[in-house]
Amino acid sequence: MSTEAVHDEHHDHKPTGWRRWVFSTNHKDIGTMYLIFALVMLFLGGASAMMLRAELWEPGLQIVDPNTYNNLLTNHALIMVFGAVMPAAAGMANWMLPMMIGAPDMALPRLNNLSFWLLPFAALMLIMSFVVPHFGGGVPINTGWTLYPPLSLQAGIGMDFGIFTLHILGISSIMASINIVTTIVNMRAPGMTWFKLPLFAWAWLLTGLLLIVIMPVLAGGVTMLLFDRHFGTSFFDAAGGGDPVLFQHLFWFFGHPEVYVLLLPSIGILGMVVPTFSRKPLFAYKPLVYSMFFLTALGLVVWAHHQYTVGMSKEVTEYFMIGTILISIPVGYMLFSFIFTMWRGSMTFETPMLFAVAIVLMFSFAGVTGVMLAVVPADLQYHDTYFVVAHFHYALIPGALFGIYAGVFYWLPKWTGHMYDERLGKIFFWWTTISFNLTFFVQHFVGLAGMPRRISDYSPVFTDFNQISSIGAFAFGASHLLFLWIIIKTVRGGKKVGDKPWDGAQVGNAGLEWTLPSPPPFHSFSTPPVVK
Amino acid sequence: MTSTTEGYYIPEPSRWPIVGAVTVFTMLVGTALWMNHLSPGPWIMLIGMLMLVLLFKGWFGDVITENLAGSYNGRVDRSFRQGMFWFITSEVFFFITFFGCLYYLRNITLPYLGGEGHLANSHLLWKDFTYSWPPLQLPDASHYTQAKEAMEPGGIPLWNTIILLSSGGTLTWAHWGLKKNSNRQLVLGLVMTIALGLTFFCLQAYEYGHAYTEMDLTLNSGIYGSTFYLLTGFHGFHVTVGSIMLMVILGRAIKRHFSPHNHFAFEAVAWYWHFVDVVWIALYIFVYWL
Ligand code: HEM
Ligand SMILES: [Cu+2]
């Protein structure tokens, strides 16, 4: 690599061979491993989604039996949430945070590697949970990612592997979050004050704090499930004085903030991408940071909007309804910040920016359906239908996944030193965006008409719309082969880029990554830069 | 021989993280098999635990060596401190979860089951069930063994409160010793703390034995037994871990590893111990007393 010369009086020696990766203490190598892992999981989760959509091509049972269908559904969600989106966001944090804030590496490099290496083992554990039922291990995990008892108490040994998968993932995310929060608090270069911090760092700071709070709650909840399953306790059994609804509270106390964990890093990426391609500093940066705080805090106290139908008291339900509707204030604020950043900017539409604009549009749509779902009397109708499925896919695919794609295209030149193929990037953007909308838009209608979620069969009246959905889904899945190809192509070669591939990249609260060569040296900042 | 960057210490590639990941995986696979009565389970768990011991010895051994070699500057020290702080925060939320469950069950679930309020469901489920805490009588005991009596706050739990609180005191006294560079006071304070921790542990074990054999209070005696063992059990587990950490610190203190200005390991363990202390107080109030 050409970088040694630039940055190193101290030998920039890299460990070589497999040891470089397996024993790594380098934030970039660990970041790369996170990103590759996420990509593999994206394909695995995608493959299970393709099977779901194939099964739903027509009413009746075609390909898989109902238990396997629900198992695939559960795995799809767990893999996408914990295997694809979170590791991708953590990979970006690893790669970018030290470079952005002018640190030599993450604060705790060995812990960092442990956080990563737990993930492949969690994946292995999940695969075991999927495989053992086929060898006499009883019923597979057929509950959906929410793992509600009593169904989860009745599944076979696969459920135990599933619970332990969550334990491993929990350990991994808590340690990763501790590391990230510590890095942002303790490792900033001199002069990188709080309000000079790139938005991506703010977003990850809040994400990390959220994870430190919610992951132990999930771990506690699934541990109680385990006890009920094997040690005779009665936490979730009313006959012994327990309560299955208690588990729902535990799950959603984790689960609702978890959707912000998926969302916030991508909002952080938008906070970098939008100013770059609008060539204007972020509009109202400080209030935007405050609104992210507000979102984080509020996100911790609105969880029971997932349980309106379960029979909570009127006062409690009202409280959760009002709290949930309030969330649209910070969410709306963020979106307006991005829109006003674009306003009168000299915008260009490279692939990251295309994604950014599409995210603002489509994510707003999820906000609108979200407010509909927040309203109790309406939700009693929508709950557990495809309307909810449509809502959260509009929230998560633009809100989390597309944000990550925007980040990948934005930083790929920095990581590899090569410019990606802009034409292919644009094709990828239009292909995914159109097929995504094709897949999920119609689900609003079948949902409103009453098609329940998590069932492998449906009434024949829904056939047409489901076929549209399936066609969209296959196209969406296929588009990712192009994504893979673009990445491979860029890694292997392409137009060389300088330190600053985007001419707008240093407006406002940009990160320090643009002051480093592309690709950056093995150790980012051997001596801390001074930010003026 | 380190890939130094000025000041902040970046460790060389290390084998411990991957060993750690394999260890966690091994232990959990073993546990899953054991819980389902599959024969290799306990053996795999045992292997996992041995690996855990080696892992900690190896990893912390490296950290200690680096520290004694003077590789860590003030900023590295701050990273360790902040890391420990956030770790304890996550542990706090782990316990808050269980206290939250106790609150929910006592104030929402059980009153409904017992027929209070407009959401009462006793007329649909178990007509004869009336609620009082501790609920020795269960809504439907066909799958459970009902406890004969409940835990009293006097006696052993009270003693344990006194013991654990004093152990916090002896630990602080040890810290004072460390700060004024009196190794004798440090070692003595640590020995007393460990002794108190072990006494607590033994009394707790005795109490569990008593509950199981005399009171019929088991994991299987409905929600009272479930919450009782959940909270005290996880706390007891933390006391055990804390005691082991204190013993390591004692060993290092005897080797004179600490100086008045460089003793983060001691402080980390002390924070942890105080945290376990505070959890116990909450436990004593909400589980034994109220
Ligand atoms: C204005 C903002 C939002 C509001 C008011 C809102 C409201 C809701 C409500 C009330 C539900 C429960 C629907 C039901 O089950 O009946 C729900 C489900 C869901 N929302 Fe949102 N939401 C918002 C934004 C988001 C965001 C930003 C994300 C993720 C990035 C998200 C992800 C989800 C997910 C994953 C579910 C379904 C979980 C499941 O049942 O498996 N939402 N939302
Ligand atoms: Cu929610």
Q: Between vectors from CA A237 to CA A232 and to CA A243, what angle results, nearest 5°?
A: 130
**Residue-level pLDDT at A49:** 97
Q: What confidence tier does A228 reach under pLDDT thresholds 50, 70, 90?
A: very high
Per-residue pLDDT of chain B (290 residues; tens, 9 = 90+): 344 445 889 999 999 999 999 999 999 999 999 999 998 999 999 999 999 999 999 999 999 999 999 899 889 999 999 999 999 999 999 999 999 999 999 999 999 998 888 888 777 888 888 898 888 889 998 999 999 998 988 889 999 999 999 999 999 999 999 999 999 999 999 999 999 999 999 999 999 999 999 999 999 999 999 999 999 999 999 999 999 999 999 999 999 999 998 899 999 999 999 999 999 999 999 999 98
- Residue of A81, A87, A104 whose CA lies nearest to A30: A87
Ligand 1: centre distance to CA A147 (Å): 17
- Quickly count: other Cβ atoms within 10 Å of residue A352's Cβ: 26
State the nearest Cα–Cα gap between A25 and chain B, in angstroms. Answer: 5
- Residue of A91, A88, A78 whose CA lies nearest to A49: A78
**Residue-level pLDDT at A7:** 42
**Residue-level pLDDT at B199:** 97
Q: What confidence tier does A283 reach under pLDDT thresholds 50, 70, 90?
A: very high
CA B32 to CA B29: how far, in whole Å? 5
Question: Three-state SS for A496?
Answer: strand
Interface touch B104/A110, C-beta < 8 Å:
no
Domains of chain A and any CATH numbers: 30-515 (1.20.210.10)
CA A313 to CA B126: how far, in whole Å? 21
Residue A14 CA, chain-centre distance (Å), reads: 31
**Residue-level pLDDT at B6:** 54
Longest dimension (CA), chain B: 75
- Residue of A369, A367, A246, A255 whose CA lies nearest to A306: A255
Residue B111: asked if its preceding bond is cis (omega within 30°), the reply is no
Judge if the beta carbon of residue A393 lies within 6 A of ligand 1: no
User: Highest mean pLDDT: which of A359-368, A519-528, B67-76, B117-126?
Assistant: A359-368
Q: Does domain B74-289 have CATH number 1.10.1370.30?
A: no
CATH topology identical between B12-71 and B74-289: no
Average pLDDT over residues A503-512: 85
**Residue-level pLDDT at A512:** 92
For chain B, the residue count is 290
Name which of A2-16, A75-89, A217-231 the model is least confident about.
A2-16
Judge if the beta carbon of residue A163 lies within 6 A of ligand 1: no
Ligand 2: centre distance to CA A304 (Å): 8
State the nearest Cα–Cα gap between B241 and chain A, in angstroms. Answer: 17
CA A202 to CA B227: how far, in whole Å? 39
CA A33 to CA B195: how far, in whole Å? 46
Ramachandran bin of A519, using left for φ above 0, alpha for ψ from -120 to 50, beta for the remaining angles:
beta
Ramachandran bin of A494, using left for φ above 0, alpha for ψ from -120 to 50, beta for the remaining angles:
left
Q: What confidence tier does A13 reach under pLDDT thresholds 50, 70, 90?
A: low
User: Model confidence over B36-61: pLDDT tens digits?
Assistant: 999 899 999 999 999 999 999 999 99
Chain A nearest-CA residue for B86:
A178
State ipTM: 0.95
CA A204 to CA A179: how far, in whole Å? 11
Q: What confidence tier does A193 reach under pLDDT thresholds 50, 70, 90?
A: very high
Q: What is the CATH number of domain B12-71?
A: 1.10.287
Ramachandran bin of B181, using left for φ above 0, alpha for ψ from -120 to 50, beta for the remaining angles:
left
User: Model confidence over A437-489: pLDDT tens digits?
Assistant: 999 999 999 999 999 999 999 999 999 999 999 999 999 999 999 999 999 99
**Residue-level pLDDT at A136:** 81
Domain parsing of chain B, residue ranges: 12-71, 74-289
Ligand 1: centre distance to CA B109 (Å): 26
Residue A115 tokens read as 């956080």
Residue A269 tokens read as 């990426």
Q: In the predicted model, what is the mean pLDDT of chain A?
A: 94
Residue A239 tokens read as 């006959």
pTM above 0.90, yes or no: yes
Q: What confidence tier does A15 reach under pLDDT thresholds 50, 70, 90?
A: confident
Spell out which residues have Cβ within 5 A of ligand 2, the ion: A 256
Residue A110 CA, chain-centre distance (Å), reads: 24
Q: Kindly give the residue spans of alpha helices, DSSP state H, lying in B5-73.
A: 16-35, 41-68
